[in-house]
Amino acid sequence: MKVLLLGGGGREHALGWKLAESPEVTTLLAAPGNPGLAALGPVFPGFDPTDVMAVVDLALANAADLVVVGPEAPLAAGVVDALAEVGVAAFGPTKDAARLETSKAFAKEVMTRARVPTAAAAVFDDARAAHAHLEAQAPPYVVKADGLAAGKGVLVTDDLAAARAWVERCLAGGFGAGSRTVVVEEYLAGPEISVFAICDGERALGLEPARDYKRLGDGDVGPNTGGMGAYSPVDDVPADLVAWTLDHVVVPTTAALAEEGTPYRGILYVGLVLTADGPKVLEFNARLGDPECQVLMPRLEEDLAVLFAEAAAGGLEAAPLRWSDRAAVDVVLASPGYPEAPETGAPITGLEDVARLGDVLVFHAGTRRTAEGVVTAGGRVLNVVGLGGDRAEARRRAYEAVELVDVPGKRFRRDIAE
Ligand code: AMP
Ligand code: GLY
């Protein structure tokens, strides 16, 4: 089968690497792709995967049998819907089903209907009512913009004045005019963990949990980022966490969506907080996590192309997925200035030295190939993944490799998987 993968970050390089391993895949195209994906098949630098008509044209021109959507923006733009109209199979939810990620208010409404344990929340489009509600809460306050805000729309604070100001900013359209709605939420205390399921509209298969590091600095300090590292397996979670998440979250949520005529096909990402009262849902995403995907793909012992094609067609075989017992640890190398104002265009060297190491994978994220070689082209630049018999060994390999890659002024955390 010919597979067209949309996106060009570290998550997509890891997905492409796994898809290319499948004997079923004859060609892997990636749009826009990146220099890592370019080693696996044709890439289309500069391609905009949210341009729905361009995606349809590219899929038809290349006779793609399956389109795999990596990031959320093309889902929100409706690429899966448009591909369905021209008869091209796509793995990812439709625009309506992807509202589980693109509208926090919609996600809350579905969770309430499906009786999914989550933080209590109230939704406002009026500042007076929002302020009155905030004042009745105890700190810490959690205030969120309703729509997609690239991870920047959430404020967690003990300062009531700051919380009030955030309400004003959300309602003024500070996170996009489409999201002049604000969600005030109960604060959930406890460790966070990501659980993922592959869904075909009716059935769902759980992936192994992965832990991601959202803050920029060691010891979880500094600003929130897209994710500075990840590891899997995770040992400090309940042994039945995936089964619990399928039963109490994924199945009721996807059943509620199917009932209203918007079956959910694709990855459902469940962000959980393990509170003293049991796990509760923090958020949904309509895609794999980045960098969680980069530690899950090396451990998955299944044919990903077959799984995605079955799910896209609504015919997932209901067998538990097989996983390697080995551990994977991903350290993200970021550009200086990330996340506020990353500096780009710097040469990257040492990749050949890392390629000679065993049990290390490098997934490209913000990189670009030029006549002079590969240069930095984004905030998160590379994912250096170490594999090993246990987490300590995987971690040691990842950090050994990090020393060999030279990204000028590179930022990375030294405490991933410690
Ligand atoms: P989100 O964009 O919804 O994933 O929120 C970003 C981060 O804010 C999460 O990863 C949490 O660390 C924090 N956060 C969001 N909502 C809550 C909540 N209800 N309670 C505690 N922390 C939260
Ligand atoms: N690593 C968090 C995310 O992908 O949203």
Based on the fold, state whether residues 75 and 157 are members of the same structural domain: no
Q: Which 8-state DSSP code applies to residue 18?
A: H
Q: Could you say which of 284, 312, 340 is where a domain stops?
A: 312
CA 245 to centroid of ligand 1, rounded, Å:
18
Per-residue confidence (pLDDT) for residue 224, from 0 to 100: 85
For ligand 2, atom 2, the nearest C-alpha belongs to 289
Please state at what angle helix 304-312 crosses helix 10-20, rounded to 10 degrees.
100
Mean pLDDT in runs of 10 for the chain (418 residues)? 98 98 98 98 98 98 98 97 98 97 91 96 91 93 80 85 93 76 92 94 96 94 93 93 97 97 97 95 96 98 98 92 98 96 96 93 97 95 98 98 94 97
Q: CB of 292 closer than 6 A to ligand 2?
A: yes
Q: Which domain holds residue 263?
A: 192-312
Q: CB of 10 closer than 6 A to ligand 2?
A: no
Rg (CA), the chain: 21
Does 242 map to a domain? yes
Cβ neighbours around 390 below 10 Å, total: 12
- Token pair 């040992």 is found at 235
Does 228 map to a domain? yes
Confirm if 81 and 95 have CB atoms less than 8 A apart.
yes
Based on the fold, state whether residues 334 and 301 are members of the same structural domain: no
Does 243 map to a domain? yes
Q: Could you say which of 165, 185, 205 is where a domain stops?
A: 185
Per-residue confidence (pLDDT) for residue 179, from 0 to 100: 65
Based on the fold, state whether residues 70 and 142 are members of the same structural domain: no
Distance CA 393, CA 149 (A): 37
Based on the fold, state whether residues 334 and 250 are members of the same structural domain: no
Distance CA 200, CA 93 (A): 9
Residue of 194, 225, 281, 413 best suited for mutating to test ligand 2, as the one with most atoms within 8 Å of CB: 194
For 90, the 3-state DSSP assignment is strand
Does 410 map to a domain? no
Number of domains into which the chain is organized: 4
pTM reported for the whole predicted model? 0.93
Based on the fold, state whether residues 74 and 137 are members of the same structural domain: no
Does 307 map to a domain? yes
Per-residue confidence (pLDDT) for residue 146, from 0 to 100: 79
Q: Could you say which of 135, 158, 185 is where a domain stops?
A: 185
Does 368 map to a domain? yes
Helices (H) and strands (E) in the chain, counts: 14, 21
Does 40 map to a domain? yes
Distance CA 399, CA 396 (A): 5
Q: What is the CATH number of the domain that holds 171?
A: 3.30.1490.20
Residue of 144, 148, 156 best suited for mutating to test ligand 1, as the one with most atoms within 8 Å of CB: 156
CA 8 to centroid of ligand 2, rounded, Å:
15
